């Protein structure tokens, strides 16, 4: 599978200079596809196309934008099985999860953009003036590999709806689903230059996008360290920078909750997408008196997980995305052992069920303390840390003792108590008692988990400037 061209100015074009990289199937460790690596020249060509297109596309009527989005949605639905299959091949997500969550949720962002755009008031009277909201301009998007299409759609859909033009760099580890989305967008008939895609690595293409003077806004999803670099590069041209970065979310199981049920649900939530989620509840806080109950419940939950070929519909957990990610997680599992945490389940090495691929044993540590690496660093793999507390105040203090603030989770038999605790957690989202992930509500973080919000109305308004017009008669 060779995908060597970039989508620029409404056409698939050759890169400015030949350079390729292989795409590795993480379940087999075999290269099955290749893409071109872009350069600053490719980025500049895409940005200039987006700049030319912006003047006209920013004035396109709401009705026409809704028609474009509807065509994309129809094409997305028709290609959903193939989009899911590509994500399974490129980043190892089990096919059932790729279909029901990865691809379906990405589709939702386009549907949500239609819902928001259809009723949005771009102008309103305020005091003696008019408040007008206008598209911000050319947007540069740098997206990750763990939810390769979801994170693309959560940016592209509202930006198109708002009237912006786009230069996208998907992850070079998992670009194929985004390239199929580009084909869908091409078939939807958007004007040339409105949407552009350039593949490449962060050091070249990512930095060229972040620093380009003709890009008005950067939206980045990835690690906190990379987000800091993007923000510094963007500062010279005073771009708007929206970031969704790392997380180390706490799952507070209060003493009135069903401990066993809450622990088992928390283990499975932590291992979703093989633990490669920025908001995974990787720190589980349980009353010290329930330590042994929690350990046993965690062991049972781990035993329920079926590991195997991600193309098998019965597989629950696939591999990590790459050798480097596998090595990082193995290092942190070893660090947990060396720091004195109790190994409740799992441990170093591959699961017994597989002999190749970047698979990690689902691992649970107990008696984890706040100074341990596994309690402080984002692991991005199927590793759960169980921490003990004596009082509710101590549990909240532990939950907030992190540089991150993306999400929190609270379990309690009393919804009002859960709500009071949620109000004290310094995070952009808090889930009470197993609440589902609602993508119409804003998503983003406090502290080093980022700036700005994605999804729904809040995500849409990230792509709008606010203008005040004074002196126009009412």
Residue 329 sits in a domain whose CATH number is: 3.40.309.10
* CA–CA distance, 472 with 388 (Å, rounded to integer): 62
Report yes or no: 254 and 392 within 8 Å, Cβ to Cβ: yes
Shared domain for 408 and 458, answered yes or no, is no
Distance of CA 361 to the CA centre of its chain: 23
Cβ-contact 365, 374 below 8 angstroms = yes
- Give the CA count within 13 Å in the CB-facing half-sphere of 188: 25
Q: Which range marks the domain in which residue 9 is found?
A: 2-245+449-470
What is the SS3 assignment for 304?
A: coil
Instruction: Say whether both 42 and 118 belong to one domain.
Output: yes
Claim to verify: residue 233 and residue 304 sit in the same structural domain: no
Q: Does 339 lie in the same domain as 272?
A: yes
pLDDT tens across 49-76, in order? Answer: 999 999 999 999 999 999 999 999 999 9
Q: What is the mean pLDDT of residues 357-372?
A: 98
Confidence of residue 298 (pLDDT cuts 50, 70, 90): very high
Residue 444 lies in a domain: no
**Predicted local distance difference test score (pLDDT) of residue 233:** 98
Rounded distance between C-alpha atoms, residue 245 and residue 71, angstroms: 31
Are residue 156 and residue 254 in the same domain, yes or no? Answer: no
Would 323 be classed as within a structural domain?
yes
Region 241-258: what's the mean pLDDT?
97
Residue 300's pLDDT band (cuts 50, 70, 90) = very high
Q: Is 353 inside a domain boundary?
A: yes
Angle 392-400/415-424 helices, nearest 10 degrees?
40
pLDDT at res. 26: 98
Cα separation of the two ends of the chain: 60
* In a shared domain, residues 313 and 399: yes
CA distance 376 to 401: 9
Which among 38, 360, 344 has a CA at the least distance from the CA of 200?
38
Q: Which two tokens stand for residue 33?
A: 């596809």
In a domain, 60, yes or no: yes
DSSP state of 271: T
User: Of 284, 286, 287, 281, which Cα lies nearest the Cα of 427?
Assistant: 281
CA dihedral 157, 162, 165, 166 (to 10 degrees): -30
Element containing residue 117 per DSSP (H, E): helix 104-119
For residue 366, what is the DSSP state? E
- Total number of domains in the chain: 2
Query: How does pLDDT run across 217-238, given as a tens digit for each residue?
Result: 999 999 999 999 999 999 999 9
What are the backbone angles phi and psi of residue 324, rounded to the nearest 5°? -65, -40
pLDDT score at 474 = 84
Look at residue 439 in the predicted model and tell me its pLDDT. 86
Q: What percent of the chain has pLDDT over 70?
A: 100
88 has a pLDDT exceeding 90: yes
Q: Which residues are catalytic?
A: 244, 278
Q: Report how far residue 411's alpha carbon sits from residue 258's, in angstroms, rounded to the nearest whole number.
A: 8
Q: Is the pTM value of this prediction over 0.95?
A: yes
* pLDDT given for residue 223 in this prediction: 93
Q: Give the long-range contacts of residues 263-269, CB within 8 A, separation 24 or more.
A: 263/293, 263/294, 263/297, 263/298, 263/301, 264/297, 264/298, 264/300, 264/301, 265/434, 266/384, 266/409, 266/411, 267/297, 267/298, 267/301, 267/302, 267/362, 267/364, 267/384, 268/301, 268/304, 268/305, 269/409
Q: Is the pLDDT of residue 284 over 90?
A: yes
Q: Identify the bridge partners of residue 443 per DSSP, sorted by sequence position.
A: 454
Residues 49, 170 within the same domain: yes
Residues 290 and 156 in one domain: no
DSSP, res 273:
G
Are 237 and 378 in a shared domain? no
- The rounded distance, in Å, linking the Cα atoms of 277 and 93 is 12
Structure-token match 């957990």, residue found: 317
| DSSP 3-state of 141 | strand
């Amino acid at each position: 599978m060779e995908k060597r061209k970039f989508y620029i100015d409404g056409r698939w074009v050759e890169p400015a200079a030949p350079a390729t990289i292989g795409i590795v199937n993480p379940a087999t460790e075999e290269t099955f596809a290749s893409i071109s690596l872009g350069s600053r020249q490719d980025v500049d060509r895409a940005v200039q196309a987006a700049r030319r297109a912006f003047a006209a596309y920013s004035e396109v009527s709401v009705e026409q934008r809704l028609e474009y989005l509807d065509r994309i949605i129809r094409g997305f639905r028709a290609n959903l099985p193939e989009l899911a299959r590509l994500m399974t091949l490129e980043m190892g997500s089990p096919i059932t999860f790729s279909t029901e969550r990865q691809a379906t949720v990405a589709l939702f962002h386009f549907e949500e953009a239609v819902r928001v755009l259809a009723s949005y008031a771009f102008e309103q009277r305020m005091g003696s003036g008019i408040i007008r909201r206008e598209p911000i301009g050319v947007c540069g998007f740098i997206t990750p590999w763990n939810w390769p299409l979801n994170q693309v759609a959560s940016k592209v859909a509202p930006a198109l709806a708002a009237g912006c033009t786009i230069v996208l760099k998907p992850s070079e580890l998992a670009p194929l689903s985004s390239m199929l989305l580009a084909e869908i967008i091409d078939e939807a008939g958007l004007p040339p230059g409105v949407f552009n895609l350039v593949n490449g690595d962060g050091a070249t293409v990512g930095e060229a996008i972040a620093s380009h003077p003709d890009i008005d806004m950067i939206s980045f999803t990835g690690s906190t360290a990379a987000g800091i670099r993007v923000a510094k590069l963007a500062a010279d041209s005073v771009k708007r920078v929206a970031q969704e970065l790392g997380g180390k979310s706490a799952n507070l199981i209060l003493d009135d909750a069903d401990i066993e049920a809450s622990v088992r649900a928390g283990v499975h939530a932590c291992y979703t997408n093989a633990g490669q989620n920025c908001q995974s509840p990787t720190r589980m806080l349980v009353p010290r008196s329930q330590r042994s109950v929690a350990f046993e419940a965690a062991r049972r939950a781990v035993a329920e997980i079926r590991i195997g070929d991600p193309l098998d519909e019965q597989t629950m957990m696939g591999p990590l995305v790459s050798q480097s990610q596998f090595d990082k997680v193995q290092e942190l599992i070893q660090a947990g052992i060396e720091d004195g945490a109790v190994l409740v389940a799992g441990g170093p090495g591959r699961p017994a069920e597989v002999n190749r691929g970047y698979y990690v044993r689902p691992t649970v540590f107990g008696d984890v303390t706040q100074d341990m690496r596994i309690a402080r660093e984002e692991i991005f793999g199927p590793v759960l840390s169980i921490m003990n507390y004596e009082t509710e105040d101590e549990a909240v203090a532990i939950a907030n003792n992190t540089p991150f603030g993306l999400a929190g989770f609270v379990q309690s038999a009393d919804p009002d108590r859960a709500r009071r605790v949620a109000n004290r957690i310094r995070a952009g989202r808090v889930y009470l008692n197993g609440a589902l992930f609602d993508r119409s509500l804003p998503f983003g973080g406090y502290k080093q988990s980022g700036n700005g919000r994605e999804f729904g109305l809040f995500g849409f308004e990230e792509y709008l400037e606010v203008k005040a017009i004074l002196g126009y008669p009412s």
